[in-house]
Chains A and B, each alone.
Chain A
Amino acid sequence: MTVTNAAATVARNPETSIKFPALDLGLDSIVLLKRQWKFSIKNFASASSFRGWLENSASEGERWLRNRAQDGDLYAMEKLGLRLLTGDGLPKSVEEGLRWLKKSAELGNPFAMEKLAEYELDEDQAPDSPAEGERWLRAAVDHRHRLAMVSLGSRLITGAGLTPDPNQGEELLREAAQRGSQIAMIKLGTYLLSGWGLDCNHEEGLRWLQRAGAINADQLLELGLYLYQHSLTATTKAARGLAKEASILFQEARRQGNSIASLNLAYLLRRGEIADASSPPLDELLSEHLKQRDSFAFVNQALRLARGIQCNIDWKAADLLFERLQDSGNVLEWWFARSREGDPEGHLVTGWLGRHQLATDPDGFQIAQRMDLARTGGWLVPEWMNDLATGKQNS
């Protein structure tokens, strides 16, 4: 049983309270005394485009990694294996990648064990992969890899790739969180807050998030954004799945009165990154922002109309919203970054801004080129969208 701060401040005897002040033990702040390390949501470094050893010359970087790996550097083996496995910076070779990763793991590298486990559990379709993945993940935990502990705990709670065992999962997450793992605190907090895999305990969930550095609604929102951005550039399925944790943080921030959180939820919902059932309808999430002529709300509404999410498809109405867009700078910054990640929606918005002459294409692409990339990615973009918008042409 846990004593809560709220419990310590309520329910006092009315007679004695005249004589004595109410007692607030300030238990939520005790964590600031105990912990020496700084828990800032900024601990989650922004995604970096740094290519490591392959930054300037892939061939030279590969040569360096291979030489080091052959000389017995376990971490070079791990990096080489992972790059070959995912085709990140090097020609994809699953077989060779797995060979290096396994070699590093077998020599005791817990990071390689964890990565191997993630691959076996999320990517490999072979029948014995889940068992093999679990074996490697548990081996990494045995080697005191705390993030492997978090991964195993989360998977056992949510059932991602493993047979669920919420009790064991919770135990692992709690242990990692008690030892100071910020990501374990966030996971535990979001699971308790939303009742995802664990019994819902809103108050305790919030306390874990506070311990992780998210004290108020703005910080919950910021933490959600960090997680979401991390998920966008992640190479593993597990990390890509952080969007769900982000949505729980947005929902809580919204509950606490943060209006931008509604917009972020709308974004995730529209993109199908969270389930409809877990969130209010898009109309409700977007209406206030549309009234305020918020650019992000306009673009989200336009993309929603273009896809027909909780509405009928209407490209003309969507195009009209772009015509009424007032600030395009931030819009371009966000969606152009998505285009760089290969997201077709990023190409569509970048091209759309060009069509309305709201921004110059940073890559120098023609509107039609952008639209074609969006089409290739599954968007049913009408042909007329390849042209400059008439209103702008006339002006």
Chain B
Amino acid sequence: MEFFQKLGSLVTRLWKERDYNEEDFPEVASRGLSELPPDQHVSFWDVAKWALTCERLPGQADLNAKFGQPPLTVFGGRDFRIEVLFWVQGIPAIHQHSFSGAFHVMHGSSLHSLWEFELTEQIAMRLALGRVSLKKAELLQKGDSRPIIAGRRLIHSTFHLDRPSLTVVVRTLGEADKLPQYSYLPPTIAYADQNDVPSVQRRTQLLRMLLISGKRAEYDEIAHHILGTEDAYSVFQFLLSTFALIEGEDERHNLLLAARLKHPKLIETLHPALLRVERTNKIIAIRERVSSSDLQFFLAVLLNITERTAILNLIEQRYPSRDPMTAIVTWVRELSDQGVLGVRFSEPWLLMLQCLLTKRSDREIQKAFSGQYATQQIPNLELGLGELSSGLQDSWLLQPIFQN
């Protein structure tokens, strides 16, 4: 495609000036994208139409579409390539890259979050324990570009809000010294993709097959042996892939207990991460069921952002004329009315949510309830309100809103 040939030539020239130094590539790619911003030259339809009708596509990388839905290689240069990544579903994956360069939002918008990982212990070659924490969150609009730095210096998540979203990535082919490419599970885990270990990957798929096809007794028979004898990385992958498929809390506890004997440290830190993965899956499923872009945005924020201030800032950024706290109460009400949460938020719950968002004291909360409901002769009102307050603050859905 002519535009990407032009962009590719520009990046080639700029990088040649830097002697093809990989360290300089993020700057080179960013400059290329700023001099020839793709969003101002080509549209989503231009790219899709060209790719589907041109006589010959450039050589395609990542045929299995592991990164991009799908990825489309539009230019192949010396030690770098340009890709247009189509996205139809947001994936809240926190990751680092084994390549460097820059990305540009060409169509749609994205929720971009930056994270850091404080290593406590590297417990296996592909598995580390530590603290995964949010550094910054921002909304990226069409036309925004950001550098990609290989390795742990850039840990980020780009959650695409619109369907489809398109990003243009100008990237090196891969830097061997930046492998393995880690993904992160807040609050504690860093791990490399299991694609590198075929036996673990295949066994994980087989264990999932047992559970999905209802062969629970067969799974139970084998699971303890695997969890009790395999290495930490395998145990991590097995649990990551199958934990959410087991519904009973007692059964889940037994699985963790079986693995704990050989891998106590891993299991101590893994449990909250597994619960978070489950929460993520649950919210993604809810997000699939709602059509309003406001609600989709709200759920995307709850999925990706782990603390109150960042959440409120993002809402303010997206809806400058709205009060973020009122917006949250409205969205929770709408989600509840649509019946997608599995629990109905009654008016007293919404009132409590409003009180908690505005950081009212216990006395003020009681006053707010007395102003709207007949409460004078209700025994233990204070305890009841306390239980409701902690229920909302600990809820799987809203918990991040109350985290500082």
Contact = CB atoms under 8 A, between A and B. Distances in A.
Interface of A: 1-3, 7-8, 11-13, 16-17, 19-27, 29-40, 42-45, 48, 50, 52-53, 68, 73-76, 108-111, 143-147, 179-183
B391 A1 contact: no
Contacts of A35: 396
Interface stretch (B8-16, B109-117, B302-310, B379-387): B379-387
Contacts of A44: 248
9 contacts: A3-B379, A13-B374, A25-B385, A29-B343, A30-B388, A42-B247, A76-B225, A111-B254, A111-B257
A11 B250 contact: no
Interface stretch (B17-25, B70-78, B119-127, B274-282): B274-282
Task: For chain B, give the interface size range.
Answer: 35 or more
B283 to A, nearest CB: 11
Interface of B: 215-218, 221, 224-225, 228-229, 247-254, 257-258, 260-261, 275, 278-279, 282, 342-344, 346, 348-349, 369, 372-381, 383-385, 387-388, 391-392, 394-398
B378 A8 contact: yes
Contacts of A21: 372-374
B221 A52 contact: yes
A41 to B, nearest CB: 10
B343 A8 contact: no
Contacts of A16: 374, 376
Contacts of B282: 36
Given A40-B247, A68-B225, A25 B383 contact: no
Given A32-B342, A36-B279, A37-B252, A12 B377 contact: yes
Contact of A34 (B348, B369, B373, B395): B395
Given A11-B379, A24-B348, A48-B216, A38 B261 contact: no
A25 B348 contact: yes
Contacts of A32: 342-343
Contacts of A68: 225
Given A20-B375, A36-B396, 15 more contacts: A8-B384, A12-B375, A13-B374, A13-B376, A31-B391, A43-B248, A43-B251, A52-B221, A68-B225, A111-B258, A143-B257, A146-B254, A147-B250, A147-B253, A182-B248
A33 B224 contact: no
A23 B378 contact: yes
A57 to B, nearest CB: 15
Nearest to B349: A26
Nearest to A71: B229
